Amino acid sequence: MIDVEVGRTPTGMRSFSMAYRSEFLRQWDAAIERGSRAKLLRENNLAYGTVHRWIAARDRGEWTASMRAAAEKPGRRMDSRERAELAQLRKENQQLRQKVEQAEAAQQILGKHSSSWST
């Protein structure tokens, strides 16, 4: 099995990084025993057509150009786990803001009542 995470597109489709594709094709090229490639496809839940497109792109040199473009591109994309964590943190942040607003409102109310008691 490959230890590189598989991401998801906004529509829920799987998105394979270049590291994943490279490692898979390395294993694919090394698979010489009968049935080993079919086993590799099953273990990674991939269709032969997908792998065939990766092989064709690699053979045409598209991967090298893609890797160069990615290296020159500033920043990096978030994977699905990072997007989920960001969404959770935003939700928690919003909840904490609401609690602070409630606490400030309660403090104002109590502050007004306590000042009227002291006079």
**What is the per-residue pLDDT across 57-101, written as a single tens digit (0 to 9) for each?**
888 888 777 666 766 666 667 788 888 888 898 899 899 999 999
Residues 102 and 63 reside in one and the same domain = no
Residues 39 and 61 reside in one and the same domain = yes
> Given a cut of 80, is residue 102 above it in pLDDT?
yes
Domain containing 9 equals 1-77
Q: pLDDT by residue (tens digit) across 6-43?
A: 767 777 778 888 888 888 999 999 998 999 999 999 99
Residue 58: predicted pLDDT: 87
Residues 83 and 73 reside in one and the same domain = no
Residues 83 and 72 reside in one and the same domain = no
Residues 18 and 52 reside in one and the same domain = yes
Residues 4 and 46 reside in one and the same domain = yes
Residue 92: predicted pLDDT: 92
The residue type at 41: L
**Spatial distance between the Cα atoms of 117 and 119, rounded to a whole number of angstroms:** 6
Residue 79: predicted pLDDT: 82
Total domain count, the chain: 2
Residues 72 and 86 reside in one and the same domain = no
